[in-house]
Amino acid sequence: MKIFVDADSCPKPARQMILRAATRTALTAVFTANRPIPGISGPGAVMEICPAEEGAADDRIAELARPGDLVVTRDIPLASRLVETAIPVIDDRGQVYTKENIREKLSFRDFKVGLADSGIGIERTASYGKRELKNFADTLDRLLVRLLREEKKNS
């Protein structure tokens, strides 16, 4: 089992939380981006540098992640690709993407992109603070416990 992180947009506090969780659980955390991300180090930490092409980091995560792994991303199209292959996905605010909610999330995201492309201003995501980090930490811990339990049962 591995934790894959779409590191380009993942806030530093969430990256640090993932590194601590990976160390605590002896898991590998693979951070993918098209540039080096500072602070990615420690036991089990891997920095995967992808080409600077649009979607290269997303494609790399989709290529490497397997059912039983966990992916952290804000990228809803990537989340959709992964959820369809039974890979658990959360964002850095603790939102869990599931087969039940991903189509709605993707539709809303496409609507917002359409508005932005038309020149209509849209509200951006609020800042990342203690509440968002706590929600993420709680969800991350809960999913890791569940996935590790399932992995142990299947081995």
Tell me: the pLDDT tens digits for 78-119? 999 999 999 999 999 999 999 888 777 776 666 666 666 667
Fold of 2-154: Rossmann fold (3.40.50)
Q: Are 74 and 136 in contact (CB under 8 A)?
A: no
Residue 43 CA: distances (Å) to CA of 18, 102, 143, 155: 12, 33, 20, 23
Judged against a pLDDT cut of 70, whether residue 124 lies above it is answered with no
102, 83 contact by CB (below 8 A): yes
pLDDT in tens, 44-60: 999 999 999 989 999 99
Distance between CA atoms of 47 and 107, rounded to whole angstroms? 31
Q: What is the pLDDT of residues 7-19, one digit of tens each?
A: 988 999 999 999 9
Quote the pLDDT of residue 111.
62
Instruction: Please say whether the beta carbons of 88 and 68 come within 8 A.
Output: no
* pLDDT value for 82: 96
**In a 3-state reduction of DSSP, which class is residue 29?**
strand
Q: Distance (Å, rounded) from C-alpha 97 to C-alpha 92?
A: 12
What pLDDT shows up at residue 105?
A: 75
Rounded CA separation 117/94 (Å): 28
Distance CA 93, CA 74 (A): 9
Mean pLDDT, range 118-136, rounded to an integer: 80
**What sign does the dihedral 94-92-70-40 (CA atoms) show?**
negative
Predicted local confidence at residue 154, as pLDDT = 85
Work out the mean pLDDT of the chain and round it to a whole number.
90
The full set of domain ranges for the chain reads 2-154
